[in-house]
Amino acid sequence: MHDKKLENNLTLLTVIGVLYIVITLALLGNVMLALLLMRFRRRGRENDRFLRTILDSLPFPVHVKDVERGFIYRYFNKKSVDDFGPGLLKTTADLVVKENADQIEKVDEEVYDTGVQYNGQEELLFFDGRHCRTLVQKSVIQFEGRRQLLIVRWDIEEFLNLQEQLKAANHRNEVILNNVDAGLVYITPDFVVQWENMSRFSDHPQAKLYIPGQICYITRHGANEPCSHCLMLKAMETKLIQHRKMVIDDNEVIEFTVTPVLDQQNEIEGYVTRVDNVTERERIHSELEQAKLKAERSDKLKSTFLANMSHEIRTPLNAIVGFSDMMRYIDSEEERNEYHTIVESNAKQLIALVEDVLDLSKIESGVVALECTLFDLVEMLYNISMRLKLLVREGVEIVTEFPDEELYIVADRPRLKQLIKNFVTNAIKFTQNGSVTLGYELFEEKRIRLYVRDTGIGISEDNCSIVFDRFEKIGTYMQGAGLGLSIAKSLVKLMNGEIGVDSKLGLGSTFWAILPFVSQDDYLKATGEAVPMWNEDSENIAWEENSWDERLMDEPLMEKSLNGESLPKEPSPEKNLQLKRILVAEDNDSNSLVVFSCLKNQYDLIRARNGREALAIMKVQSVDLILMDLKMPEMNGIEATRRIREFNIEVPIIALTAYAFENDRIHAIEAGCNGILTKPIHRSILLETVHRYFEKEN
């Protein structure tokens, strides 16, 4: 007992000794600071710089208030300026909010009046909402015959935050210990189980192996020492919460969480092991991740769709608006009829595009319902094949593979026809020569496989996986918004079938759909009603005479000028010697003819069908201005402009684009275009733009 009392007395003397040393050092520090400030005032510039350097090197704020001048700050060292901003010749009220300034100046007055040094905490509340908790020392010094207030501050915000975090950690540990919504075990540092509710939380045999009073690694694993992968060992090393997930019984995901419990000396008192069945959470997390990826892809596809739709809508719209405008300026009936044909053709193309978008929207929203009738599939496919023979390019053969002379099935004939139409549309677009084969074959289990096989350019393996996605275009230079095959996929899904493609790059593709084969007897047995026969008058998808022409054919719509002669690719120099020469780089014949019709009587015009032709012409001919379409096959207008600018920086290049997004304008200007005209192009605007560039040249 006597030894214990002696030990306590020694501890008290030690604490008093430490406090004495700290106070002595603080007093010495104040004396040193006071002496430094006095010397700072008496000595010359060299000493002044020297002392300022010392004060500015201190890692804590030091400032002096002139009491006789209303507590104005006479000195701020560099750390003061860094922490609180410029304060020279300012008062406390200039730096912090009024209530805070009043509290601080009240302490200042007490120190000044009593001359007793003050040591304590002060919180600074700034006007911008910031706050800073500090440990402050205030004392009175004599300087140049006047009493001044020396203030030294230490920022203790980080220390206090750490203190609060430790308190919060202790609180969290208490919450974990009181939590009964999960399996909990409290284990001492020597791995003895003190408390558990695991056996009540789970019926799994492993949950019964945490036995109070027993060493956990013996009861759980039959081991003589902790496992090398034990979470408690890691928590012991790091003093941090440890997590691990395990899959048990092939389908349940269990998460182990070990939380070290720390005492006031930051030593480990024990461990709280928490066990959660997170199977459902992991499933939801996985679904959310998939949904997130799908949403990101959908957002990207929608942006691509908007860009493509802008182009695909403006391309026919350009011809419609351009030739409609031109019809006001012509007298020839022949020319007017030709313009009318062009307008009508592009209007049908525009309508078909809108119908595709509406079809996809209606199918995916569930608005479309199948209307089944009895019809001859062979007859329908034969009629399609005969129509195709009138539409395909020269050198492409239409082949049919029909194993039966007739085959009556029960299905939604218009929708089935639309499915085949979309397959055929795709085949003809990408087949330059060879054949397009249309056929079907019967499978067992009452299924029928419809297919369209072509000898076109084929599809790469990577693209085969996305070819049926919305807004995807494998050939970006082809007309269309990338919806046809997506509509086909939606139709097949609506018919409870399967869809796919077999393709090799450069060898061709086979698009197929496997659908349930329903006969008249099957329908009668399933519904108890006789199936209605197909009636030609009831078809709800119009098969207009020219409905496919512009959608399927990639051949030029016009090869002749307005007077019936071929459009000159290289006009005679003698004929147009006095005219400025304009190169029109445009792959679309309708759009090209709009430009030629607007400018033909005033300029010498040259046609290039893609960027590569435009580049070749520029290398061998003198051109005064270029009208450059941005989206063309083989080489687009952006790349062609870049290459032309490598050897010719003077010729004006005006971009013609059906895109309407700002990025496309920026890319065109960056590539070297002088100006941009957005389709549809009006005659007056085109003439004014061209005239303006030539006036600048003159």
Residue 677 clears pLDDT 70, i.e. is over it: yes
Q: So what's the pLDDT on residue 639? A: 94
pLDDT band at 33 (very low <50, low <70, confident <90, very high): low
pLDDT tens digits, one per residue of 234-272: 888 888 888 888 777 767 887 888 888 888 888 888 888
Residue 545 clears pLDDT 60, i.e. is over it: no
CA 156 to the chain's CA centroid: 42
Query: Which whole number is the average pLDDT over 483-490?
Result: 80
Query: Which whole number is the average pLDDT over 10-15?
Result: 54
**Cα 589 from Cα 318, distance rounded (Å):** 11
> CA triplet 282, 288, 289: central angle to 5 degrees?
90
Q: So what's the pLDDT on residue 9? A: 52
Query: Which whole number is the average pLDDT over 327-352?
Result: 81
Which CATH code is given to the segment(s) 369-542? 3.30.565.10
Query: Which whole number is the average pLDDT over 520-524?
Result: 77
Q: Which of 381, 378, 385 is nearest to 408 (CA)?
A: 378
**Cα 364 from Cα 189, distance rounded (Å):** 61
> How much of the chain, in percent, has pLDDT values that exceed 90?
12
Cβ partners under 8 Å of residue 91, min gap 6: 70, 71, 72, 73, 101
Cβ partners under 8 Å of residue 95, min gap 6: 84, 85, 87, 101, 124, 126
C-alpha Rg value of the chain to the nearest Å: 43
Structure tokens at 434: 């060879």
Phi and psi (nearest 5°) for 478?
-80, 150
Report the run of H or E that residue 529 belongs to, with start and end: none
Q: So what's the pLDDT on residue 621? A: 92
Highest mean pLDDT among 167-171, 196-200, 401-405: 401-405
Residue 80 clears pLDDT 80, i.e. is over it: yes
> CA triplet 499, 502, 504: central angle to 5 degrees?
155
**Cα 641 from Cα 8, distance rounded (Å):** 90
Q: So what's the pLDDT on residue 549? A: 39
Q: What single-letter DSSP state applies at residue 680?
A: S
Highest mean pLDDT among 294-308, 417-431, 636-650: 636-650
Query: Which whole number is the average pLDDT over 550-566?
Result: 33
Sign of the alpha-carbon torsion through 78, 80, 84, 90? negative
Q: So what's the pLDDT on residue 611? A: 93
**Cα 682 from Cα 689, distance rounded (Å):** 11
Is the Cβ–Cβ distance between 628 and 673 less than 8 Å? yes
198-202, 214-218, 421-425, 526-530: the lowest-pLDDT one:
198-202
Q: So what's the pLDDT on residue 608? A: 94
Residue 342 clears pLDDT 60, i.e. is over it: yes
95-104, 476-485, 525-534, 564-573: the lowest-pLDDT one:
564-573
According to CATH, the topology of domain 288-329+556-698 is: Rossmann fold (3.40.50)
pLDDT band at 544 (very low <50, low <70, confident <90, very high): very low
* End-to-end alpha carbon distance in the chain: 113
Query: Which whole number is the average pLDDT over 103-113?
Result: 89
Residue 10 clears pLDDT 80, i.e. is over it: no
**Cα 653 from Cα 689, distance rounded (Å):** 11
Q: So what's the pLDDT on residue 473? A: 62
The reply to whether domains 29-144 and 160-277 share a CATH topology is yes
> How much of the chain, in percent, has pLDDT values that exceed 70?
79
Examine residue 680 and say whether the peptide bond preceding it is cis (omega within 30 degrees of 0): yes
Highest mean pLDDT among 126-130, 590-594, 636-640: 636-640
* Residue with the larger pLDDT of the pair 88 and 671: 671
Residue 678 clears pLDDT 90, i.e. is over it: no
**Cα 240 from Cα 173, distance rounded (Å):** 12
* Neighbour tally for 135: CB within 10 Å: 16
Residue 19 clears pLDDT 60, i.e. is over it: no
Mean of per-residue pLDDT scores for the chain: 78
Q: Order the strands of the 447-454 sheet from edge to edge.
A: 396-401, 434-443, 447-454, 508-516, 498-504
Q: So what's the pLDDT on residue 47? A: 65
Q: What single-letter DSSP state applies at residue 507?
A: T
**Cα 16 from Cα 255, distance rounded (Å):** 51
Highest mean pLDDT among 152-161, 164-173, 198-207, 633-642: 633-642
pLDDT tens digits, one per residue of 570-591: 333 334 346 899 999 999 888 8
* Residue with the larger pLDDT of the pair 462 and 584: 584
Taking domain 29-144, whether its CATH number is 3.30.450.20 is answered by yes
Query: Which whole number is the average pLDDT over 299-318?
Result: 75
Sign of the alpha-carbon torsion through 220, 224, 228, 232? positive
Q: So what's the pLDDT on residue 44? A: 54
Q: What single-letter DSSP state applies at residue 226?
A: -
Is the Cβ–Cβ distance between 177 and 272 less than 8 Å? yes
Q: Where are the domains of the chain?
A: 29-144, 160-277, 288-329+556-698, 369-542
Residue 167 clears pLDDT 50, i.e. is over it: yes
| 12 SS3 class | helix
Q: So what's the pLDDT on residue 36? A: 61
Taking domain 160-277, whether its CATH number is 3.20.20.140 is answered by no
